[in-house]
A = this chain, B = another copy of it.
Amino acid sequence: MKRIIILGGGFAGIYTATHLQKLFKNHRDQYEIVLVSRENYFTYQPMLSEVVAGSLGVFDSVSTLRSLLKKSTIYIREVSEIDLNERTVTLSPNFAHTDLRIEYDHLVIALGNVTDFRSSSGGLHEHALAFKTLKDAIKLRNHLIEVMESAAIESDPLIRKQLLTFVVGGGGFSGVEIVAEMNDLVRLFAKKYATINPSEIRVALIHKKDRLVDKELSPSLGRYAEKLLKKRGVEIYFNTELVSATPQEAILSDGKRIRTSTIVSTVPGNPNPLVEKLPLQMIHGRIQTDQFLNAIGHTNIWSLGDCSAVPIMNSDQICPPTAQFAVRQGKCLAHNIYATCTGVKHKPFEFKALGMMASLGHRKAIAELFGKIKLSGFIAWLLWRGVYWMKLPGLSRKIRVGFSWILDIIIPQEFVQIKTEVHNGITHLHYAKDEVIFRKGDVGDFLYIIVKGKVEILDPFKDKEIQIAVLGNGEYFGEMALLRQKKRSATVRCLEDTELLAIRKNDFTVLLTNFGNLKEEFIKTENDRIKKISSILEIGDIRDFPDDQSPPHSCHG
């Protein structure tokens, strides 16, 4: 029995598996088709923004792999290693502690790219919300509901403004779709709150070029989208870029700072580290294939989708990383594996993009077909819904989405916030120069460790701020309020851009209880600190706190 392993459960992997199932229908006793995926479902990305908007239910945009691929073996696991010499794939453990190694005869690599902010600097990783997976969609919707609920009862005008401002970075396809849906959602939402005036809401879109969807669509459609969004109240900033995010601000490349608690950003796609380190020929971290989708020089290694560089016939370009291409590549690749196994003729990959569509919410969309036909408004929206509905995998999925669309028309939306996410024990934070981390009198809820940067500890004493100390890399602050269950005894402000680790009160207590010497250290530094602060405040205004007197890790707060 031979085994074909497909890595990845996106458009590329699913369509390859579907076609392989059909082709090998009469060879099931000879060939096992295996698909490995991290999630047990396939996400139909075109409809994700409707999940955020609430016109679709949480699960409407996904189908389980098992229901789509009834004749394949499905492994729901992380891939931890690919060994081309041994012809094996190793999967990470789940309930047990042992990993799983499976051998392959043919390997199809459809792992896509890694879309996260890890490579981004300036706090995007820490504070920007992504919009790519179902989890992102659920998280974003919950976050929007949370800020609205908080704003509804907030009396501090500065925090109110921060909560009611929403920033999206990137005016490409997904940026435009998500800003449209978000804008609709928060404005609809505001109507339900007697305490929120719709005019308080501010939605901003940041784009580095001078028109929207400049890469994907014609100028006229970009202008149409711009006009429509502006009419609905979205502010658009052209020729500038979102470069930094903090818990309270979005910072643009032109230096502009927007106070906000909600920053959504287009997620950069980076090469998948698993793929990148394979001994295969690569172009910018993507696996180079021939026109038959074979990795160069390997007849049993195949690759398609976002993680691969597939040449476009009769050109020196490679296929763009879109679902349209992945789906067609899957069909071609399945045929070529079948051809290799049975000796029929291989087919080269040939396909020309059909067009692009973007939904703009409120029954409006823009579309460009065959590079010529341009559509906008309601007609484009009908086309958008029609095409994507027809392409939904499986009849039951179509019925479910249909029902949800009907319900959305006849029933008012509800904004249920599910807080399933448990906060991490240790959170990474990024603050910009001049930002205040906390103020004297605030509730003490975190201990902070400075990973990189510099902060000053201030005491607002008799109408002026006395600088008690300056802290830098490796030093910590904020534990005083935690140890003594009190309010913050000082204000902390950043002297430069600062990366922090924040440890939540409960986890701090757990650490202290279980690492005896850690606790001693904290208490010792705290006592030293109290003595020093008292002496400073008696003397009056010593701006430079003598560094040599401070303990190895000085502490405040």
Where the two chains meet, the residues of A that have a C-beta atom closer than 8 Å to any C-beta of B are 39-41, 57-59, 62-64, 66-67, 73-77, 92-100, 134-135, 138-139, 145-147, 149-150, 152-154, 156, 159, 162-163, 192-195, 261, 396, 399-400, 403, 407, 410-412, 414-422, 424-426, 438-439, 441-443, 445, 449, 451, 474, 488, 501, 507, 510-511, 514-516, 518
Contacts of A159 in B (CB 8 A): 95-96
Closest beta carbon of chain B to A167's beta carbon, Å:
15
A66: B residues at CB distance < 8 A: 192-193, 415
Q: How far is the CB of A444 from chain B (nearest CB, A)?
A: 8
Nearest CB in chain B: distance from A515 CB, A: 8
Number of copies: 2
Q: A93-B442, A400-B407, A426-B511 are in contact. List 20 more A-B contacts (CB 8 A).
A: A40-B417, A41-B417, A59-B416, A64-B415, A77-B153, A92-B443, A94-B146, A95-B154, A96-B156, A96-B159, A97-B442, A135-B419, A138-B420, A399-B410, A399-B411, A422-B424, A424-B425, A425-B425, A426-B507, A515-B518
A501 touches B514 (CB 8 A): yes
A-B contact pairs, 9 of them (CB 8 A): A40-B416, A59-B416, A62-B416, A63-B414, A63-B416, A64-B416, A73-B153, A97-B488, A501-B514
Assuming the contacts A67-B412, A92-B443, A474-B516, asked whether A40 and B426 have C-beta atoms less than 8 A apart, the reply is no
Specify which chain B residues have a CB less than 8 angstroms from the CB of A416 in the assembled complex.
40-41, 59, 62-64
Q: How far is it, in angstroms, between the C-alpha of A21 and the C-alpha of B168 when the chains are bound?
A: 40
Residues of B within 8 A of A396 (CB): 411-412, 414
Provide the residues of chain B in CB contact with A403, threshold 8 Å. 403, 407
Does B97 lie within 8 Å of A445, measured CB to CB? yes
Residue of B whose beta carbon sits closest to that of A38 = B419
Separation of A456 and B175 alpha carbons in the complex (Å):
56
- Of B57, B94, B150, B194, the contact of A58 (CB 8 Å cutoff): B57
